[in-house]
Chain A
Amino acid sequence: DIVMTQTPLYLPVTLGQSASISCRSSRSLVHKDGNTYLSWLHQRPGQPPRLLIYKVSNRFSGVPDRFSGSGAGTDFTLEISRVEAEDVGVYYCMQARQSWTFGQGTKVEIK
């Protein structure tokens, strides 16, 4: 199974500042079809996860442009610029290269 490792696991942030979460996979996520199947999801307390970013850098419908994804191969990053109060919660990276596995989650809180 492909293992997904996120850092940090806890991220206190200041409103209006930027935040960055890293995700590393144990194997390359480049599929034979040429796509890289790495997604980012956000889960607020008591809510189901919601898709933010798919295929590394594509924002899902309705996701603010404050969220951006980057990376390639085995190393990926989610950036949140100008953090807002509604951005708190847990962020997960997820690979779909071979079955589906999630990172441990990064908890984002406001300082």
Chain B
Amino acid sequence: QVTLRESGPALVRPTQTLTLTCDFSGFSLSTSQMCLAWIRQPPGQALEWLALIDWEDDKFYSSSLMTRLTISGDTSKNQVVLTMTDMSPVDTATYYCARRVAGTFDFDYWGQGARVTVSS
């Protein structure tokens, strides 16, 4: 049974760095074709892909946000961490982690999401 759960601060001040953690179970990120992504959704808006890490520890970033994002994985803990620097109110959103099986399923399992508000 695949499960994912996001955790992190609910409130972040402008200019601060956001750190989010995705704890997952039911698969290993070191298994061939397994990937984990971060996707966000501002209130009432569409989904936006942010970053992805794959089974070979290759990392991919949204072209519009790549200077602010870092994704990392810890296969021993079944955990993936996303950091986003220089937060601003437009970054207020629900942040999801989701699994991808390369070549087959894109985002077949999702966490419940972590709601993050950026405000002073």
A104–B37 Cα distance when bound, in Å, is: 19
Minimum distance in angstroms from A31 CB to a CB of chain B:
9
A48–B47 Cα distance when bound, in Å, is: 10
Interface presence of B21 (CB below 8 A): no
Given the interface pairs A49-B47, A92-B47, A105-B46, the reply to whether A100 lies near B112 with Cβ below 8 Å is no
Q: How many residues on chain B are close to A (CB under 8 Å)?
A: 22
Residue of A60, A92, A104, A105 near B105 (CB, 8 A) is: A60
A51–B110 Cα distance when bound, in Å, is: 9
Q: How large is the interface on A (under 10, 10 to 19, 20 to 34, 35 or more residues)?
A: 20 to 34
A37–B111 Cα distance when bound, in Å, is: 22
B69-116 contacts to A (CB < 8 Å): 96, 98, 103-108, 110-113
Question: Binary interface profile of A, 3-46, with partner B (CB < 8 Å = 1, else 0)?
Answer: 00000000000000000000000000000010101010100000
Q: Which residues of B contact A (CB under 8 A)?
A: 37, 39, 46-49, 52, 60, 62-63, 96, 98, 103-108, 110-113
Q: Which residues of A contact B (CB under 8 A)?
A: 1, 33, 35, 37, 39, 41, 48-51, 54, 60, 92, 94, 96, 99-105
